[in-house]
């Protein structure tokens, strides 16, 4: 019994101590002059889908849930945000060259069509971020037309 109490005290102490190891929050400006929504002709309906379903991990501004300030959950969230931004950062869309944009547009459609994005773990808590087949079709159609415009435009 005493050994169990000691382990419990050590566990609680460890949980308290890890709260002091915090990753930097991703709290940049939501709207910037290089942001996808500002740079491209994104219809309002699609812009709201991107903001709701993609921007938490793929932009410079994350809306953190209450548990996002508690370790080890904060570490897990930070890992996903860092990885998401490494693959695609909508906040720096205007800094990409044409080839990068076209590649990213193709990748967006591929990822959402296959169900890889949004992540299943994200959708467990953010049910409103789930993409319908209509949303996926609309995003892919927009991505195709945007890629064509980038390719043919100057």
Per-residue model confidence as pLDDT tens digits over 93-134: 999 999 999 999 999 999 999 999 999 999 998 999 999 999
Cβ atoms of residues 26 and 89 within 8 Å: no
Among 90, 85, 115, smallest CA distance to 101 is for 90
Per-residue pLDDT, 154:
57
Sequence-separated (6 or more) residues with CB below 8 Å from residue 8: none
Q: In the chain, where are the structural domains located?
A: 2-152
Read off the pTM. Answer: 0.88
């Amino acid at each position: 019994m005493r050994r169990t109490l000691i382990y419990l005290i050590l566990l609680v102490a460890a949980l308290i101590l890890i709260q002091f190891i915090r990753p930097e929050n991703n709290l940049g400006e939501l709207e910037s002059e290089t942001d996808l929504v500002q740079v491209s002709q994104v219809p309002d309906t699609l812009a709201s889908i991107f903001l709701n379903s993609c921007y938490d991990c793929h932009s410079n501004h994350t809306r953190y849930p209450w548990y996002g300030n508690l370790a080890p959950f904060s570490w897990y969230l930070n890992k996903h945000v860092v990885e998401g931004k490494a693959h695609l950062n909508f906040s720096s869309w205007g800094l990409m060259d044409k080839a990068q944009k076209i590649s990213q547009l193709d990748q967006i459609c591929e990822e959402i069509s296959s169900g890889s994005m949004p992540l299943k773990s994200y959708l467990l808590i953010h049910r409103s971020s789930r993409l319908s087949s209509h949303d996926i079709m609309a995003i892919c159609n927009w991505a195709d037309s945007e890629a064509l415009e980038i390719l043919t435009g100057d």
